[in-house]
Structure 1
């Protein structure tokens, strides 16, 4: 293991998902972690999970404080910690940055020792029970540059020690960025999932992987997201406004097509009609989505890589997926990504194995020889 540059004690204020995960990541590397939370039972749970030990008045002053409080109180908690520990660097993990930074400044906090941060990591479930020591592994962690470079380096050391990658962004740039890559996707997922409440049971029974992909994050904590969206209201509103404009174009195209007018093909034949251009508008939307999706970073943050997909039928029994992975290892093909979908009413699942294109044919052939049912993809 790489030597740890973070020196304790590190005080973690807030023992929910992120705070406990920070504690676990540091404690497993031998760093002394002091846990604090308004709830004694929350501290006890984090302690029992191995995230550190409860903070006491007899502890030495912390060198670093990580505030993992709810977004709407992060600024106040940071200001309190700066005042209580005059020699400590204080950072936070809130998903909005401009608001807490402004709150700390308004309270006269020492901004030279406050280094705002935000790990782009999380889970659908919250709380300490969902915490993991590797939650931040390979994930970007925004660190807002400050006046004191030594303080910034101390936070960057923390980020690197627990496996994340420091990314320097101003508070304003961060809030604009997370509006489009995190906050608006949450709203979109919730809007789509909300349509399912009153959908006929037979319609919901047809749900496939596409719906599950789109709505996965709709299971998030409503109370937390009220705070996040409220704290980043202006950037989120701008993105949603542009999204609404795009949706209006789609609605207009669908209205024209539903009205019985000719589509583009009919217009080309000289028929004309109210739906002229509607099909092109829908095609442009899907094409724009293709372009945007192609910009999403690939594995380990590398440029997007087109993978080939090998689909394998996996019996829904203990050990079968592990056997598939073991066979892939023996064949010598690396699994780049995995999607697993269960067939409704059938005791099998479909494992979509993403591999480099050059390995697809070899993998399909080798798995078939080992008895797996493989659905070949078009080449």
Structure 2
């Protein structure tokens, strides 16, 4: 790949452009907002000048409702030989591309599973996608060259490709992304009704739960609308769980001792299922594609006091451990396995190496 065009210079588009430019790809920046292009170009993401010939790939970084029209517009103008997008919904944009007569042999749907709470080109990072999964949704008419070129894009951005059918992708992200965002927003909205003294007590728990609620409301309206069937089905199931929880709490408040015992059993079951579901995320080799956690092996020698120092250094690096294990406690040169999320592995490794620890992936 020698040339690329990024259409849409927000957080994701500018991050892709930064990654490609950093790998020597001549990248052209296109956006209806000239200020956004100016900022992205000033950050070294590429050139605001249009290409003089079709580029190797065009990356369409617009909301789901605008993907098909944008692809059709730029295919008509012969912007590129291959097209992909980054929308977090895949089935509806693909159907709309078909309806508009787009050349789907030269198109692969894509969705990089990375982001930040802040939007816009100022928040972009060249390493945003490193070690993150990037879903591609080729269809039967996608030709081999198109898929290979898009796989090259994923590789240049440092991400891990995962191939799915568009409907399978949409059901997956409804569960793992769209429903959580909606719940975070609903929970955060309750804070508007809280007394000032209650909000002042907000700690790590409520901050963690509502962190993603800070996203762009207009963009998320577009996303939820495009994936309404999958999100709506999950929300109906969740509503039943919420009602079961509310009923249990009501029995604890006003029920007989026997009813209260049953309510406690129901609450325990609800919370237990939550623990089991959470464990599916934190396991090192669970899920599809890349592992959801990365293991770092750190040599600590025999004295246990070095373990305390290691944990202090991890804390100073401001990285949360998912888990810690001792592979062979009887070995003369003891080591520990630190389990962290993939995006935290490299920063933690660098921080520990700087502090004199022997670290290996």
The answer on whether the counterparts of 1:338 and 1:354 sit within 8 Å (CA) in structure 2 is: no
The answer on whether the counterparts of 2:9 and 2:61 sit within 8 Å (CA) in structure 1 is: yes
Give the distance between the partners of 1:62 and 1:234, measured in 2 at CA: 36
The answer on whether the counterparts of 1:8 and 1:64 sit within 8 Å (CA) in structure 2 is: no
* Greater relative contact order (Cα < 8 A, sep 6+): 2
Alignment of 1:221-232 (within 5 A): 221-232=216-227
Question: What secondary structure is seen at the aligned counterpart in 2 of 1:60?
Answer: coil
Partner of 1:113: 106
Alignment of 1:285 onto 2:280: no
Partner of 1:24: 18
The answer on whether the counterparts of 1:93 and 1:118 sit within 8 Å (CA) in structure 2 is: yes
Structure 1 pair 142–338 and aligned structure 2 pair: CA distance change class (3 A) = farther
Summarize deviations over 1:261-307 as a string: whole Å, max 9, x none: 21xxxxxxxxx3x4341111100000000110011155694366899
Structure 1 pair 129–303 and aligned structure 2 pair: CA distance change class (3 A) = closer
Question: Of 268, 275, 278, which residue of structure 1 is paired with 2:260?
Answer: 275
TM-score by length of 2: 0.80
Alignment of 1:36 onto 2:46: no
The structure richer in helix per residue is: 2
The answer on whether the counterparts of 1:294 and 1:304 sit within 8 Å (CA) in structure 2 is: no
Structure 1 pair 65–353 and aligned structure 2 pair: CA distance change class (3 A) = closer
Question: What secondary structure is seen at the aligned counterpart in 2 of 1:279?
Answer: helix
The answer on whether the counterparts of 1:75 and 1:103 sit within 8 Å (CA) in structure 2 is: yes
Alignment of 1:27-66 (within 5 A): 27-56=21-50, 59-66=52-59
Question: What secondary structure is seen at the aligned counterpart in 2 of 1:225?
Answer: helix
Structure 1: tracts of 5 or more residues without a match: 1-6, 263-271, 308-327, 341-350, 364-379
Summarize deviations over 1:55-93 as a string: whole Å, max 9, x none: 32x622111110001221111101222222286110000
Give the distance between the partners of 2:60 and 2:307, measured in 1 at CA: 42
Structure 2: tracts of 5 or more residues without a match: 297-305, 337-361
Structure 1 pair 42–87 and aligned structure 2 pair: CA distance change class (3 A) = closer
Structure 1 pair 289–28 and aligned structure 2 pair: CA distance change class (3 A) = same
Question: What secondary structure is seen at the aligned counterpart in 2 of 1:356?
Answer: strand
Question: Of 39, 63, 71, which residue of structure 1 is paired with 2:64?
Answer: 71
Q: If you compute each CA radius of gyration, which structure gives the higher value, 1 or 2?
A: 1
Give the distance between the partners of 2:96 and 2:185, measured in 1 at CA: 30
The answer on whether the counterparts of 1:142 and 1:169 sit within 8 Å (CA) in structure 2 is: yes
Partner of 1:254: 249
Alignment of 1:356 onto 2:356: no
Structure 1 pair 304–330 and aligned structure 2 pair: CA distance change class (3 A) = closer
Structure 1 pair 352–53 and aligned structure 2 pair: CA distance change class (3 A) = closer
Summarize deviations over 1:34-63 as a string: whole Å, max 9, x none: 11111111111110011100132x622111
Say how many residue pairs are matched: 317
Partner of 2:75: 82
Displacement after TM superposition at 1:210 (Å): 1.1
Structure 1 pair 354–118 and aligned structure 2 pair: CA distance change class (3 A) = closer
